[in-house]
């Protein structure tokens, strides 16, 4: 497979056979072509994204070549790396009803029960958190089993309970003969459901060992004075109280991890702290203007090319080149941001915000799309900036990031609490 304007194929001579009852995981560097592979299998490539595609693709011995994504939706399930991009109806109940008309209702009901989506039935899609939307999209995709199901970064926004529920559903479906192909950068979160792992590199797939979680060094410096303070803070979403009585002090050079269940209000709190949403109660004090990195990177990309996105932050040509190298984006300088992989978009947004040199940065789910090496590079950059005085509030479900922080905060039962140890 070759994309327009690309000198080398994204996928070349790739062979893959997925047997019934198989859960196969795919890992690889950010930008290796994992999402493109699933796009080709689901029909999104080349129907929605132009590409030169050659080779055979068969399901139960029947060719899928020439069958568009709408027709393939009856033959397999797909959950994209952006769950909100495949949720079109007003409420969760509408989405579940549409999925039940396409696939088996009993399978859907079981998935909705285990993933906790039933209690969200009356909620509007626009009112859900990123993790809740991911749960809804997963239920719709899993309803296709025992047909093949394609999952792209299914744990990106899931809390620990959501991951455990997904692992349970994968195991149950595999026992019924379902097969799954899963792109996942944090593969260790899906153990033991994935029976085998494949690494995509140089356009081909090869067997590899089970992914292991990375470990990070703790900060070696001491924070300074406060740059962000909250007292008696309360936040709400669409009039529904989420967190109250927040007492928070973020100090210069401090790295703090914030976690909590899906729907607890982490992203809403982030928008309030950054000044993009009014608090329901309480007071805020900021020393300078901070930066907020949203969980959906594409919402913060406006340039025509990767290089333009960086220069829009006011960098000179020499500095732009250094920034692109630092974030492993130099080979993508002429590409349009919307053509990048998820991890590449994450790196680009962080690079652009970093250039603004804010006194504090709130980063919401930075690990999504990042392979372990890129996540390590992100942590190293955070530590370098923090050692020079910038404060970071990192929002993530990835517990390994707690080792890279001075403190770990968690939202539980509508309160903000400090996690010991």
Task: Give the residue with greater pLDDT, 174 vs 298.
Answer: 174
pLDDT at residue 216, rounded to an integer: 95
More confident site: 227 or 191: 227
Task: Dump pLDDT digits (tens) for 317-369.
Answer: 788 888 899 899 998 999 999 888 889 999 999 999 998 899 999 999 999 98
Reported as a pLDDT band with limits 50, 70 and 90, residue 105 is confident
| Residue with token string 């958190």 | 129
- The confidence band for 65, taking pLDDT boundaries of 50, 70 and 90, is confident
Residue 313: per-residue pLDDT: 75
Q: What mean pLDDT is predicted for residues 116-144?
A: 95
The residue-averaged pLDDT of 393-407 equals 96
User: pLDDT tens digits for 178-226?
Assistant: 999 999 999 999 987 888 999 999 999 999 999 999 999 999 999 999 9
Can you give the pLDDT at residue 26?
A: 97
* pLDDT top residue among 421 and 220: 220
Determine the pLDDT at residue 89: 95
Q: Of the spans 39-48, 75-84, 244-253, 324-333, which averages the highest pLDDT?
A: 244-253
Tokens standing for 280?
Answer: 């329901």
Residue 315 has pLDDT above 80, yes or no: no
pLDDT of residue 3: 77
Of 376, 128, 405, whose CA–CA distance to 250 is shortest? 405
Averaged pLDDT for residues 128-142:
95
pLDDT at residue 53 tops 90: no
User: 268, 281, 284, 299: which is closest to 362 by C-alpha?
Assistant: 268
pLDDT digits (tens, 9 = 90+) for 150-163: 999 999 999 999 99
> Mean pLDDT across the stretch 118-127?
94
- pLDDT at residue 6 greater than cutoff 80: no
pLDDT of residue 80: 87
Tell me the C-alpha distance between 33 and 9, whole Å: 10
Q: Give all domains of the chain, ordered by start, each with its CATH number.
A: 23-208 (3.40.50.300), 226-418 (3.40.50.300)
């Amino acid at each position: 497979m070759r994309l327009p304007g690309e000198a080398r194929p994204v996928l070349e001579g790739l062979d893959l056979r997925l047997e019934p009852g198989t859960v196969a995981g795919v890992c690889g560097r950010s930008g290796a072509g994992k999402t493109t592979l699933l796009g080709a299998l689901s029909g999104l490539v080349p129907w929605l994204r132009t590409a030169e595609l050659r080779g055979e693709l068969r399901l139960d011995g029947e060719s899928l070549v020439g069958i568009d994504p709408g027709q393939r939706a009856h033959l397999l399930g797909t959950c994209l790396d952006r769950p909100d991009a495949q949720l079109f109806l007003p409420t969760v109940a509408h989405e579940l009803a549409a999925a039940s008309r396409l696939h088996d209702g009993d399978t859907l009901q079981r998935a909705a029960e285990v993933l906790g989506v039933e209690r969200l039935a009356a909620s509007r899609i626009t009112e859900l958190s990123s993790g809740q939307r991911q749960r809804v999209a997963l239920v719709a995709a899993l309803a296709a089993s025992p047909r093949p199901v394609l999952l792209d970064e299914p744990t990106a926004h899931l809390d620990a309970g959501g991951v455990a529920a997904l692992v349970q559903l994968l195991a149950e479906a595999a026992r019924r003969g379902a097969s799954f192909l899963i792109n996942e950068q944090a593969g260790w979160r899906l153990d033991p459901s994935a029976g085998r792992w494949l690494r995509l590199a140089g356009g081909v797939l090869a067997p590899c060992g089970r992914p292991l979680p990375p470990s990070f060094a703790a900060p070696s410096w001491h924070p300074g004075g406060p740059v962000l303070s909250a007292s008696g803070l309360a936040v709400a979403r669409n009039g529904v109280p989420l967190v109250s009585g927040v007492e928070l002090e973020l100090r210069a050079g401090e790295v703090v991890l914030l976690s909590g269940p899906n729907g607890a209000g982490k992203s809403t709190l982030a928008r309030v702290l950054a000044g993009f949403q009014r608090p329901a109660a309480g007071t805020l004090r900021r020393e300078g203007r901070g930066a907020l990195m949203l969980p959906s990177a594409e919402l913060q990309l406006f340039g025509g090319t990767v290089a333009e996105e960086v220069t829009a932050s006011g960098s000179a040509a020499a500095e732009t080149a250094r920034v692109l190298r630092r974030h492993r984006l130099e080979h993508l300088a002429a590409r349009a941001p919307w053509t990048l992989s998820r991890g590449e978009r994450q790196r680009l947004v962080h690079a652009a915000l970093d250039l603004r040199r804010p006194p504090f940065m709130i980063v919401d789910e930075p690990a999504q799309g990042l392979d372990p090496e890129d996540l390590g590079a992100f942590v190293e950059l955070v530590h370098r900036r923090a050692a020079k005085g910038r404060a970071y509030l990192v929002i993530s479900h990835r517990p390994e990031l707690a080792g890279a922080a001075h403190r770990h905060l968690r939202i539980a039962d509508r309160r903000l609490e400090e996690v010991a140890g």
